[in-house]
Structure 1
């Protein structure tokens, strides 16, 4: 079941950027529980991912990757993305997966949070909105990184994976949803990929996509959910009912 706000939001998207900003303000005030993706959504790590992968490609004398190419082709399951890069054998997939994760782990504290993240999380926390992280990042590393940025206290749960292949996010989302007292229309998932949209659809909750992460706006449009370009477009102060 979709919320009344979702229909209003879809209409606002067809009117103007100003309507988008206004409707987004209303949305976050109406949700009881917000599920955040981590990589690309809260953490600005797209350039780091490309840099680490380019190191792997260079060592194998393979063509390097641009940011635009990456955002146009990165996908879940990540095996499909690796095949697009030119890695086709299972043993190569295993090797590259470990090499990539090792490179990312060494530099895990380099990327910054996206602009406005800390302020937005604090505002939602102050309004008693439940917040969790649902990520395809490995659990133990995820907890260390979130703690490093000083924002872990804003989240009721930090939910990562037990593998390095980004497999199981949907299942974790459904398991988390089963523990919640909220109706689907009271829950919003915010992410930066089509996979996040798939997770939201599986959970039957509302979804907001941000086009500042790992997939381009053109690709995100395929999901049919509202899209923003930065958290500057969100202002939860004075959030009111959608009838205003």
Structure 2
């Protein structure tokens, strides 16, 4: 009997999951870290909905626009360190997104494979994934192992799939910002974006990729 796999318009067998804002509900920690940076540089705080309307990659020009002036390399390093330190202090308060575990089990039970790719630093990411007991769900876990001029997930996704010998045409990336959509398109994969993370639904819809309001809905699109 021929083995059947879940499909999205045919052919999808593998999900690459994003972490921050997708499987991990950390909007409050990201916003608090951003406002810590704003305070350091004399900028009024931003509300979550404003942040979801303006956040983007690459990060350096985004923060220069947010703060209203260019940043020297030394200031960018200070900003980056301040953000990361504040975020990590709040990380214990972050929980998995609603339905995350059930959704991972659903996809595996349907015969699909899945991996995780994040723009968080690899050495920081792996202990967190391990602490949540998620490693057995994934064929591979990758954080950011190097920096790129474009500051995009695209090159990282290409390497992530090549390391597993996975055909991009069989892949959907599920993430929460438009860079996830751009990365999938650049790698020859597809994307579904979830509206629960750091970017507004309207901006996600502008990418032309499907947008779901929950992790469960995203996977149901693949199983339909």
Distance 1:189 1:219, change over 3 A: same
CA deviation map 1:72-92 (0-9, x unaligned): 111111112211221522222
Of 21, 38, 56, the residue aligned with 1:57 is 38
Return the TM-score normalized by structure 2: 0.86
CA contact (8 A) 2:18 2:175 kept: yes
Q: Which SS does the other structure have where 2:93 is aligned? A: coil
Q: CA deviation at 1:163?
A: 5.5
> Structure 1 residues 210, 72: closer, same or farther in 2, change over 3 A?
same
Residue of 73, 83, 91 corresponding to 2:54: 73
Residue in 1 that maps onto 2:3: none
Q: Superposed, which structure 2 residues align to 1:143-182 within 5 Å? A: 143-162=126-145, 167=151, 169-182=153-166
State the alpha-carbon separation in 1 of the partners of residues 137 and 114 from structure 2: 7
TM-score (norm 1): 0.79
Q: Tell me whether 1:212 sits opposite 2:196 in the alignment.
A: yes
Flag the 1:164–1:204 CA change in 2: closer, same or farther, 3 A: closer
* Stretch of structure 1 that moved more, 180-189 or 211-220: 180-189
Structure 1 residue 63: Cα displacement: 0.7
Please name the residue that 2:65 is paired with.
84
Q: Kindly state the Cα deviation for residue 181 of structure 1 after the two structures are TM-superposed.
A: 4.5
Tell me the equivalent position of 2:175.
191
> How far does residue 180 in structure 1 lie from its aligned partner after superposition?
4.4
1:136 touches 1:160 (CA, 8 Å); kept in 2? yes
Partner of 2:117: helix, strand, or coil?
Answer: strand
Cα deviation digits, residues 114-162 of structure 1 (max 9, x gap): 1011101012223342211111000011111111222121011111113
**Stretch of structure 1 that moved more, 194-203 or 164-173:** 164-173
- How much does 1:58 deviate? 2.4
| 1:201 maps onto 2:185 in alignment | yes
2 CA distance for matches of 1:184 and 1:162? 20
**How far, CA to CA, are the matches of 1:212 and 1:231 in structure 2?**
9
> How far, CA to CA, are the matches of 2:36 and 2:130 in structure 1?
28
Q: In the alignment, is the contact (CA less than 8 A) between 2:103 and 2:216 conserved in 1?
A: no
Alignment size in residue pairs = 216
Q: Judge which range, 85-94 or 219-228, deviates more.
A: 85-94
Q: Secondary structure at the match of 2:95?
A: coil
Unaligned segments of structure 1, at least 5 residues: 1-24
1:39 equivalent among 20, 40, 43: 20
| Residue of structure 1 in register with 2:100 after alignment | 117
Q: Per-residue deviation at 1:111?
A: 1.2
SS of 2:193 mapped into structure 1? strand
From 114, 121, 144, give the equivalent of 1:131. 114
